[in-house]
Amino acid sequence: MGVETVEHNGTRYAEIIWSDIRVQKTIFFSPAESSFQFGLLAHAAGFVESAHYHKPFTRQINDLQQMFVVQRGVVAVLLYSDQKKLIREIILKSGDAIVLIHGIHAIRVIEDMQCISVKQGPFLGTENDKIIVEVQE
């Protein structure tokens, strides 16, 4: 299955990185202009990357993207259009990952789960983090 893009009416809502993907070299899946870069690092045994740091520069980010990596369990991720209608339900299992790029989303835990969650900061507090939306199933 590899990598799958979820689009609706020309808008990219999510990228799914299924656990069965195998790459021979490092590859990034996000567009270069995206405020959230994601991909897979792959190197042969013996590879050594030189010690380094990343150049700091000011970035202006007008969106907030989030990535889940399922460590254990099963979780459904529901993606909704801007019109609050369900676009797709995606079932993720251990090793699967998803980048939430645009739109309304919800999760439903099917089996006890633990996910790594990554999103842009800074964190502005619980009251500024989420807007609850009434959706149509």
**What are 66's two structure tokens?**
């989030």
> Averaged over 83-95, what is the pLDDT?
96
Looking at the chain, the whole-number percentage of residues with pLDDT higher than 90 is: 58
What is the pLDDT, as a whole number, of residue 121? 79
What is the C-alpha separation between 130 and 53, in angstroms, rounded?
Answer: 32
What is the pLDDT, as a whole number, of residue 77? 97
Tokens 């090793």 belong to 95
From the list 57, 48, 12, 42, the residue with the least C-alpha distance to 30 is 12
Using one digit for the tens of pLDDT, what is the confidence trace for 19-71? 999 998 998 888 888 888 888 889 999 999 999 988 998 888 878 889 999 99
DSSP string covering 27-92: EE-S-TT-SS--EE----TT--PPP--PPP------S--EEEEEEEEEEEEEEE-TTSBEEEEEEE
Q: What residues have CB less than 8 Å from 93, skipping those under 6 apart?
A: 19, 70, 73, 74
* HSE-CB for 44 with a 13 A CA cutoff: 0
Q: What domains can you pick out in the chain, each with its CATH number?
A: 3-48+62-128 (2.60.120)
